[in-house]
Amino acid sequence: MQPAKFEFARARSLGEAATILRQASGSAKVIAGGQSLGPMLNLRLARPSVLVDITAIPELTRIEEDGDGVMIGACVTTSDLEDGRARVDGLPILATVAAGIAYRAVRNRGTVGGSLCHADPAGDWLPVLCALAAECVVTDGSRVRRVPIQGFVTGAFEVMLEGAELLQAIRIPRPSRAARCGYYKVSRKAGEFALASAAVLFDREGERFRAVIGATQGRPIVVEDARSILRGVPQPGGAVELDATAAGALLRRAQLPAHMRLYTTALVRAAAQAMA
């Protein structure tokens, strides 16, 4: 199939992009890499009146670091992180995750911000960035606000952006040097979307012990203190011990099948990867 007819605009600034979105009154779509939106257009699952290309906006391709964290522009591509062209000190987990997403052609075009805004529950970036307690920097061209990433995604394929807003960047608080991160996804073959996924952050110095279960058909499950389901913090090189009762209760509260061991398998392997 071919897309329905639409107009095309290439925005040169955040303000210009926001103005086009505002004038379209909800009928516009933002495009960057187009790895999700492109097929939706071809299948006519999306029929925008205007397509707004944001790849020429300088702020969206920057990575800026300070002592407290890292700001990753929404149009930074997955391959930028994989190849170290946009190197992020202290967060090697980003390059590791990037290398396992889809295929090289997709990684060359697909953007981190686009993946988050698409909000596919089976995507890779969402659980990882939730574990890292990232924030989404949202703008309408003049006003900027920060939203915790688990609040940015409101459901499967749903985010809290208003009509004239777009995602400008993702801010990740810098973990301590001793922090350990892990991510694991269960999939039929390498590069495919996850059937179940999990990410963890163990940061003793920062007193952060987060675990996140993804690929849940909705919002990821964020466990603020992973010690509650892992019987404490695993030791480097040691075995990971899951509290099956606590984990089962967690899955039931999230209305996930408690018997589905893929979720807990992903969690245990993510923790083991972090402590390896």
CATH superfamily of 180-275: CO dehydrogenase flavoprotein, C-terminal domain (3.30.390.50)
The pTM of the full predicted model, rounded to 2 decimals, is 0.92
| Residue 258: per-residue pLDDT | 60
Band (pLDDT 50/70/90 cuts) for residue 216 is confident
Q: What is the mean pLDDT of residues 201-207?
A: 91
- Please determine whether the domains at 7-53 and 180-275 fall in the same fold group of CATH: no
> For all residues of the chain together, what is the average pLDDT?
92
pLDDT at 87 over 80: no
Domain ranges for the chain:
7-53, 58-173, 180-275
Answer positive or negative: Cα dihedral of 80, 131, 240, 189.
negative
For residue range 115-160, what is the model confidence (pLDDT) as tens digits?
999 999 999 999 999 999 999 999 999 999 999 999 999 999 999 9
Per-residue model confidence (pLDDT) at position 86? 73
How many degrees, rounded to 5, is the angle at CA 102 between CA 147 and CA 96? Answer: 65
pLDDT attached to residue 252: 87
Residue 147: per-residue pLDDT:
97
* CB contact at 8 A, 151 and 222: no
CATH number of 58-173: 3.30.465.10
Reduced to 3 states (helix: H, G, I; strand: E, B; else coil), residue 9 is strand
Measured from the Cβ of residue 146, the count of other Cβ atoms closer than 10 Å reads 12
Q: Is the pLDDT of residue 259 over 70?
A: no
- Domain range 7-53, CATH architecture: 2-Layer Sandwich (3.30)
Tens digit of each residue's pLDDT (9 = 90 or more) over 167-196: 999 999 999 989 999 999 998 888 788 899
User: Is residue 113 predicted with pLDDT exceeding 80?
Assistant: yes
